[in-house]
Structure 1
Amino acid sequence: MFLKRILLGVAMKIVAADSAAAVLNERFEPLKIVATAAVLVEPPYREASAQIGEPVFANVENGHQVIVHELELCRALLKTYRADVVHLDVSLGAASVETLSPIQFSGMKISRKARSSLLKILPKIRKISGEITRNYEIQVLAIGKESIPVRIAELTAGAYAVLYVTKQAIDESKPLLLGLPSKCSLKIAENRAVLHSLIPAEHDLSGSAEDKENVLSKAQIVETPNPRARGFRALKITPT
């Protein structure tokens, strides 16, 4: 089915997911991964045409566990929207997730820590990928950051994170630091948090989230470079 659509020249619709942004301590060290988003991306592949976002607030040390949730959100999005392929934020040369095996990892250029983390989640992501393939006749590819839809998912997750952490700052009546995804900047427009890519070749890519609870108007948000991580920016979010 997937190959037939390519050969027929049909515009490819891609579902992708990623988790992004981190609550930082006063030393700008990441503590918790804030949000996960799944997106449907269609030509011209600049932003999501449909999306789901959820807070995760996962400990950074257990960050690999969010990959399972990313795939679950992809599955949820596919219940409503048709796609031709799923891109997962795992960099394994665009291998099919359903057919991955521990033996394959030994021949891949990945760190021992990454290999150990993947082995822990492999049964779950293979199971979900198999369900997606059977139900929707599409592949789940471990393509990672090479994918533009994954980048859009990252920006979208970051936009949701701005809303979630702003609400947390308001609820707790204290300022919080939020680390944004790599090479992006926040703009607030039309009651939305919008993250625009700062990478020159991605100048037209963005991810956004609607501020349904109107939290952005209740806080002062100041963006600065992250002094601990070149290429990253941070937000100081202070309730007003």
Structure 2
Amino acid sequence: MNGPGRDGTDTDGLPTNTARTDHAPTDLAAAGARLAALGLSPGSSGNLSVRQGDRLFVTPTGADLAHLAPDALSVLDLDGTHLDGPKPSKEHPLHTAFYRRDPAARAVIHLHSRYAAAASCLPPWSERSAIPPLTPYFVMRVGQTPLLPYAPPGDARQAEDMERLPFPVRAVLLQNHGPVVSGTSLASALEAAIEVEEVSALLLALGERPARLLSTAEATALAARHGSCWTPGADPVPEQASARADFTDRRP
């Protein structure tokens, strides 16, 4: 089983802070093309956004990430009001929810990538992270990634569930759906999206084999050093049934 290569983290000169450039639409189109080239955006799946000041550039509904036109992106404000351009992706509330939760976020990426989507169909490793700390790179570039309970694509409950999380995150897995990641730059969001797919491939390759995981101390130290999120105290979920009950009962 092969996930995307580690060289996928090379973001090919994308700016490290899209809030300081006038090229956000062009950068977003380049990011979409890169994700498509890596095989992480089949068909017209997935959506991206970048924040520039108090406005968001968002991929339109039904857009093919391989062929985004910089002058044909949707423009929204931080409340999700459509200001200009074509109709935005129906999943844009997930993007605005990330920006509201984290003022440092400058980009959000949602994919239906194969291995991460498969991981989203499994019971979560723990309440705070569906994926265990298998590698330092996952902890450094992504951090804890909780599983949000299933809702149809575009359902407002997805954003509501994400905003209600009582611990910090920069990534989530939507149950039976796929990953959503944020970053303090478009480049870091790309790295995180690629790393989620890579670690998901490792998780599936390991299957039921016993694996050595990073300890809580190792993971929290890495997260603190690299500015990601890994909070202690989340024990693994022992049974699929209890995991499903926990995530079903969380909604009011």
TM-score (norm 1): 0.26
- Larger strand fraction of residues: 1
TM-score (norm 2): 0.25
Q: Rg bigger for which structure?
A: 1
